[in-house]
Chains A and B, each alone.
Chain A
Amino acid sequence: MSATPQDLPGQPVAEQRSGASRKAAETEAEYGHLVKSEYEHGFVTEIESDTLPPGLDESVIATISRRKGEPQWMLDWRLAAYAKWLEMPTPQWAAVHYAPIDFQAISYFSAPKKKELKSLDEVDPVLLETYEKLGIPIEEQKALAGVAVDAVFDSVSVATTFREKLAEAGVIFCSISEAVQEYPELVQKYIGSVVPPTDNFYAGLNSAVFTDGTFVYVPKHTRCPMELSTYFRINEAKTGQFERTLIVADEGSYVSYLEGCTAPQRDENQLHAAVVELIAMDNAEIKYSTVQNWYPGDEEGRGGIYNFVTKRGDCRGANSKISWTQVETGSAITWKYPSCILRGDHSVGEFYSVAVTKGRQQADTGTKMIHLGKHTRSTIVSKGISAQHGIQSYRGLVRIAGKAEGARNHTQCDSLLIGDKCAANTFPYIEVKNPTAKMEHEATTSKISDDQLFYCRSRGLSEEDAVSMIVNGFCKEVFNELPMEFAVEAQKLLSISLEGAVG
């Protein structure tokens, strides 16, 4: 079964808009001084790229495929996706607004010229410097709690570490391009099996032109010996990034995957249309965590990243579990619904999300939990924070199929408004076709109260620190789900974004 974003409803079930124009001026005065911080990670690294001219047609796809040294079946798959994509309409249902994208103005391939490095010494020093500016030096990352980093810079992986240790355990962790060459049977078996190229417009585009991403395979009864982590960074002006990530956890295995990203400041909107597919077999568990901090645009919203991502996990086996945790603070527009298809009996799906929109940021995000198997369970905890002119919509679908005896879902959906010009919408959508299902849905909308701020300030905390503390408290349930070092980073990131948003 395929559950497309088009399944989602267009009608708001509940809408909370903080209006009162009388108060707006006051609030502007109140928070205005707190909202001026510039994007911290705004710089462009000069690195020589091998970039294709803008435009998309079959020859561009063939070039990408050839440069990647792909087998014929991969090219055929791409071309089939492209043919379907040409017939697909751009999705209009999300509560986000932007000018139409000219897909012929985008360059679909960009690769740093130096490739296939064996150690950090061989990595372009400019690139390493970039990581240091971001506060994530690879050297430290490697030492830090045994995190293996597959650093994705623009479209091609340039540094892959800890491969040997993973290889000992039999875990495959490499770029998707490498996987296509070295493990073609695995890739061919699983790619597109969760998110088919026809799933939606951006998934179709991604299938045609994806240039890199990550492949993970954890063999049967194997616990991946370390947290796997990929840092993404978009760094080439006018280059859209089309990542494709495929993670397969075979029977009885476990893997935790961390994805974090940030991008330099620029003038033009950048499209990011990634696809992430997760597959969990019998008794397998995949934990996927994201911290997203792409450039959100300037005060008027110019130049931010368009983050149109399709993420979906398939709990294919009995007793399998897939857990999504995301902290979304960046991007001009976010359009993202990490979902779980609970196919196996007794399988479990989880979605924990913190999303921040400030300035002119727009986010339409949520999840889908598709219960197909018996006694499947899902949990949704969504925390949305809107400040300034930020617009945020939670859009979620919980579907209990006719055969899903004894399925359970708990949804909690909280919005926090800061200031009077932002908006929070909630579009929960519930379809139950089995009478034994148990569904719970809780939703709240709140504002940071003057009482809370004054209480903190009367204890000596600055207004910024107070807001940061209150917001972090609001998000705590989600941060608790993140791996330790990621949780610290996420809190820091939230505080930094709120320095810009409110404090």
Chain B
Amino acid sequence: MLSVKGLKATVDDKEILKGLDLEVGAGEVHAIMGPNGSGKSTLAHVLSGREGYTVTAGSVTFEGRDLLELDPEERACLGLFLAFQYPVELPGVNNTYFLKAALNAKRRYHGEEELDAVSFLRLMKEKLKVLHLDDSLLKRPVNVGFSGGEKKRNEIFQMALLEPKLAILDETDSGLDIDALRVVADGVNSLRSPERSMLVVTHYQRLLDYIEPDYVHVLARGRIIRSGGKELALELEQKGYGWILDEAAA
């Protein structure tokens, strides 16, 4: 599904990713953990095609396509989805209208017929039910005046609608209280499927209590320095990152 090889990327001439390797298979959930400044968000942004990052070496293929050649919108249409750490406000843009435009952009890309308002509303209602969300967010402008929890729920709702093949969750747990975290995690879990892979970027173990990963990777100083099963996350929770960094340095 996703194959990252020797990826190096710079921001303002400063190298952040220093030769990163990562393989994600279909249906797998991978957690990327690491201390502040290790390059977690950079990885998420480079994969989704944000401007301002220069890839200096390495390759990224997604279902056999060279991802780095594509515009962000094309990556999205191919099935990549980034749940933002800080979802962006779009004043005056109705949330439902935004979601319909996004879904139809994707359908157009794949040569499918666009959904009309009625079919779209029906689809939206189904998805709301699956995620146990109410429709109060849908009538408001995108993320404007949303609480932290509402913003993250809205991201997960978008994900449910757009049905990505690979979802990248960038610090989705940040700024959430425990109840909101549970709601978001339940949403993510309900979207797990053998066709859908997930890359869960997080700082803390606690999200992984709710979203159980198949693999855990430790990202530090621009590289993945250790990989393991979900027990690695627990070990990190107890011991912190220091010992791994020391081992890696040794």
Contact = CB atoms under 8 A, between A and B. Distances in A.
Q: Do A and B bind each other?
A: yes
Interface of A: 449-452, 454-463, 465, 469-470, 472-477
A469 B105 contact: no
B162 A457 contact: no
Given A460-B76, A462-B73, A473-B141, A451 B92 contact: no
A95 to B, nearest CB: 27
Contacts of A458: 48-50, 72-73, 75-76, 81-82, 84
- Chain B, interface size category, equals 20 to 34
A454 B106 CA distance: 16
B77 interface: yes
Contacts of B98: 456, 459, 469
A459 B87 CA distance: 12
Contact of A452 (B49, B88, B102, B106): B88
A451 B52 CA distance: 11
Contact of B73 (A449, A452, A457, A472): A457
A474 B142 CA distance: 12
22 contacts: A450-B51, A451-B88, A452-B90, A455-B84, A456-B98, A457-B71, A457-B72, A458-B48, A458-B72, A458-B75, A458-B84, A459-B73, A459-B76, A459-B98, A459-B158, A460-B102, A461-B102, A462-B73, A465-B105, A469-B101, A472-B93, A477-B92
Contacts of A463: 71, 73
A451 B91 CA distance: 13
A476 B92 contact: yes
B72 to A, nearest CB: 4
Nearest to B168: A458
A477 B93 CA distance: 11
A26 to B, nearest CB: 10
Given A462-B105, A476-B92, 8 more contacts: A455-B87, A459-B105, A459-B158, A459-B162, A462-B73, A463-B73, A469-B90, A474-B91
Could you say which of B49, B50, B73, B103 has the most chain A C-beta atoms within 10 Å of its C-beta? B73
Contacts of B102: 456, 459-461
Given A473-B91, A473-B93, A454 B51 contact: yes
B141 to A, nearest CB: 7
A460 B48 contact: no
A465 B87 contact: no
Interface in B54-94: 71-73, 75-77, 81-82, 84, 87-93
A475 B82 contact: no
A459 B48 CA distance: 10
A334 B223 CA distance: 57
A469 B87 CA distance: 17
A433 to B, nearest CB: 36
A456 B90 contact: yes
A256 to B, nearest CB: 24
A475 B90 CA distance: 12
B150 to A, nearest CB: 16
Given A461-B102, A462-B105, A455 B76 contact: no
Contacts of A460: 73, 76-77, 102-103, 105-106, 109, 162
B80 to A, nearest CB: 8
Given A457-B71, A458-B76, A470 B84 contact: no
A455 B89 CA distance: 9
A474 B72 CA distance: 23
Contacts of B52: 450
Nearest to B82: A458
A459 B73 CA distance: 6
B90 A454 contact: no
A451 B48 CA distance: 13
A465 B101 contact: yes
Contact of A461 (B48, B81, B92, B105): B105
Contacts of A470: 90, 93
A470 B97 CA distance: 12
A449 B109 CA distance: 25
A474 B91 CA distance: 6
A461 B73 contact: yes
Contacts of A455: 84, 87-88, 90
B140 to A, nearest CB: 12
Contacts of A475: 92
Interface string B96-132: 0010011101100100000000000000000000000
A456 B98 CA distance: 9
Q: State the 4 A-B residue pairs at the shortest beta-carbon distance, nearest first.
A: A473-B92, A476-B92, A473-B93, A455-B88
Contacts of B71: 457, 463
Nearest to A414: B91
Nearest to A462: B73
A475 B91 CA distance: 10
Nearest to B99: A459
Contacts of B72: 454, 457-458
Could you say which of A452, A463, A469, A476 has the most chain B C-beta atoms within 10 Å of its C-beta? A469
Given A450-B51, A452-B88, A470-B93, A457 B141 contact: no
A476 B87 CA distance: 21
A457 B49 CA distance: 9
A472 B88 CA distance: 17
Nearest to B107: A460
B138 to A, nearest CB: 15
Contacts of A469: 90, 93, 98, 101
B90 A472 contact: no
A219 B161 CA distance: 54
B76 A457 contact: yes
A128 B219 CA distance: 67
B108 to A, nearest CB: 9
Nearest to B87: A455
Nearest to A451: B88
Given A455-B84, A461-B105, A465-B101, A473 B90 contact: yes
